[in-house]
Amino acid sequence: CHQGQSCQQASDCWNGDCAPDGRCTAVCPAEMAAYAPAPPGKPFCLDLTEVTQAAYAAFAATAATGRQRPECLIYNPTFAPHTSSPPDTIECTPSSFRPDVTPDLPAVCVDWCDADSYCRERGLHLCGQIAAPGTGLEFAADQSLTSDQWYFACVEGDEANTFVYGPYYEGEQCNGRDAFASSPRLAPVGEFADCRSGPGRPVDLSGNAAEFINEWVSVATPNSPPYVKINGGFFGSKEKELQCKSMHGVPIGEGFAHVGFRCCGG
């Protein structure tokens, strides 16, 4: 259960913290950072790093298929990472997801449905809208302090911060095009330790892997699946795409070699 809901033991609460009054607290686990947006926003927690290939592989090895959201069963009923991608994208190959070789790289080549299931298995959810987090897919709103958990975290509640580390672009502070100009590539989570707003705050909100968000960009049509939102830019992104306000849409059931995810709670 979540903040304020009744509990009898620690395991009843998503964060493992059942208070003496029998209510789940708002305390964030050690691997997450805490945020407190103004009302009607609700306090939330955000993973300090993108989910790693090792962590996702452990989930996929034991998770039961058929537990995805109903809309996901149409597009991808398994948790296996993708080994191919749509044309004109950064395509997945069998070497894109190798947790035995690259355990600390972001879990790319999974799709939105996989990411959603992983977070829900932890009692969490993909980051979504501040006023109604984790309640199901919502239509994407403009990036703002009152609408988007991920955006609120990226700017630390201050829209003067164009980037996760501040108002001005620093090309080598995060893993974007200017970090490995000759050979853009994924980096282990946390390798760019200064790609954050300060000590103890999440890393890689700008660059490395773009991240799935719990919001629609467009609904399904007879000729197209629904598209879901991704934020943050990736290792090949230039300055504009690395801004906290940067957002794009991708098909719900496709995996990409430049898109990963992290989870929110609360």
Contacts for 80 with CB less than 8 Å, ≥ 6 apart: 60
What is the model's pLDDT at position 23?
77
What is the average pLDDT across 186-214?
97
**What six digits make up the tokens of 193?**
């330790």
Compare 175 and 143 and report the one with higher pLDDT. 175
pLDDT grade for 126, boundaries at 50, 70 and 90:
very high
- What residue segments make up the domains of the chain, in order of their start? 1-29, 31-266
What is the model's pLDDT at position 52?
99
Q: Please spell the DSSP secondary structure of 30-72, one letter per residue.
A: TTEEEE-PPTTS--EEEESSPPBHHHHHHHHHHPPTT-S-HHH
CATH number of 31-266: 3.90.1580.10
Q: Is the pLDDT of residue 94 over 80?
A: yes
**What six digits make up the tokens of 185?**
């590539």
Contacts for 141 with CB less than 8 Å, ≥ 6 apart: 129, 147, 148, 215
What does the buried/exposed string (b/e) look like for 149-172 if buried means 16 or more CB atoms within 10 Å of the residue's CB?
Answer: bbbbbbbbbeeebbbbbbeebeee
**What is the per-residue pLDDT across 33-75, written as a single tens digit (0 to 9) for each?**
999 888 777 889 999 999 999 999 999 999 877 778 887 888 8
What is the average pLDDT across 142-163?
88
What is the model's pLDDT at position 131?
66
According to DSSP, the β-strands at 259-260 and 210-218 are parallel
**What is the per-residue pLDDT across 18-44, written as a single tens digit (0 to 9) for each?**
888 887 776 788 899 999 888 777 889
**What is the per-residue pLDDT across 206-222, written as a single tens digit (0 to 9) for each?**
999 999 999 888 777 77
Output the pTM of the full model. Answer: 0.89
What is the model's pLDDT at position 254?
92
